[in-house]
Amino acid sequence: MSSIIPAPIARQPWAMLTPLILLTFFGAAVLYSAAGGNFSPFADTHLLRFAITMVMALIIASMPRDFVKLMAYPGYIIVLLLLVAVEAAGSLGGGSQRWLEVGPIRIQPSELMKPAVALALARFYDTLPTGMIGSWRALLPAGVIIALPVLLVLMQPDLGTALAILFSGAVVMFLAGLPMSWFLGAGALGAVAVPLAYSFALKPYQQRRVTTFLDPESDPLGSGYHITQSKIAIGSGGFSGKGFNEGSQSHLQYLPEPHTDFVFATMAEEWGFLGGLFVIVCFGLILAWGLSVARNAQNRFDRLLAAGMVATMFFYIAINLMMVMGMAPVVGIPLPFMSHGGSSMLTNMMCLGVLMMVYRWNTQRHGGGLLSS
């Protein structure tokens, strides 16, 4: 087989790339339908972004371990400064101040912070002596690494991204070996703080999202409209769906954001349970591959770094799927590799690039990257 397939191609992690490519092209088909049977403006840019970010992922995958460790803290600081710049000179969009514009380039630093936090924490615990894992020295610096970007992101405001950063950071801390009692205590404090956060920390529109999640039927034409229409779209798809490009909820504009946050509902209406099962299986294969990369890592840094990337992608997937089915409040988190969104594609492909990098470290102790011969 090696004489037929070139070595650089055969060496790629096809257990992940195959479901990824299938999922991305299936997403392009759904976006084609969401645009009323047109490649523009969603499907064509979706595939273009995938191609560009795949090149980026392959470049990341070729990076040596020493260079990644060296850039862990500088990279985190640079993204943190970009978050500060958003507060000072960021552009508004959708009621939030989340973007920086430099000429034709528009970036969302909060998205870059998700992998940056996981990288910084992996580096921190890699240098921390094992005997200090149960002491305050393992908790306070890591807490600061997480808290600074979370607070800056909440100021934008962007609750979904803040929770994503917090979740991936907590996963890295847990896998680093911090005492379980600390997490139980944090969970108890969080439960006590929820009513206070709801009353004093959340914006009015965020409060409405929570109350709508608890009782969407109380205002089906107002704050509960998104969830209600999403459930209708998913339920009307049945077992095999209405057929490709035959969805009424998205085509008649009943379903809000059919190409971004609610792309799964758009898909489920046309492809039904079978389409939903295909999407979930593809995501499951990608996440299972990522977990195997983390499990086979050679040292603490590799293991924590890989686990942080898997946690970031899992949060995207789980929250979006729960959101469109009415199992979580609407927080504006797109579905990876299917939704039309450059920031989401960039972040998740960065995570996959890092996982491919750790995969290379696992399988090749010496030599070049995945593209080398």
Q: What pLDDT score was predicted for residue 219?
A: 64
Phi (first) and psi of residue 115, to 5 degrees: -70, -30
pTM of the shown model: 0.89
Q: What pLDDT score was predicted for residue 95?
A: 56
Q: What pLDDT score was predicted for residue 220?
A: 64
Q: What pLDDT score was predicted for residue 86?
A: 87
CA distance 200 to 237: 40
3-class secondary structure for 123-180? HHHHHCCHHHCCCHHHCHHHHHHHHHHHHHHHCCCCHHHHHHHHHHHHHHHHHCCCCH
Domain ranges of the chain: 11-363
- Residue 192: count of CB within 10 angstroms of its CB: 10
- Nearest by Cα to 308 from 150, 145, 148, 175: 175
Given a contact cutoff of 8 angstroms between Cβ atoms, the answer to whether 234 and 325 are in contact is yes
Q: Strand pairing of 91-93 and 105-107?
A: unpaired
CA distance 373 to 370: 8
Q: What is the pLDDT along the chain (373 residues), one digit of tens a residue?
A: 445 777 777 778 999 999 999 999 999 999 999 888 888 889 999 999 999 999 999 999 999 999 999 999 999 999 999 999 888 876 666 556 677 777 667 788 888 999 999 999 999 999 999 888 888 889 999 999 999 999 999 888 788 889 899 999 999 999 999 989 888 888 888 888 777 776 766 677 667 767 766 666 666 666 677 788 888 889 988 998 898 888 888 777 778 888 888 999 999 999 999 999 999 999 999 999 999 999 999 899 999 999 999 999 999 999 999 989 888 887 778 999 999 888 889 999 999 999 999 999 998 754 444 544 3
3-state secondary structure of 2: coil
Q: What pLDDT score was predicted for residue 160?
A: 84
- Residue 366: count of CB within 10 angstroms of its CB: 4
CA distance 23 to 339: 11
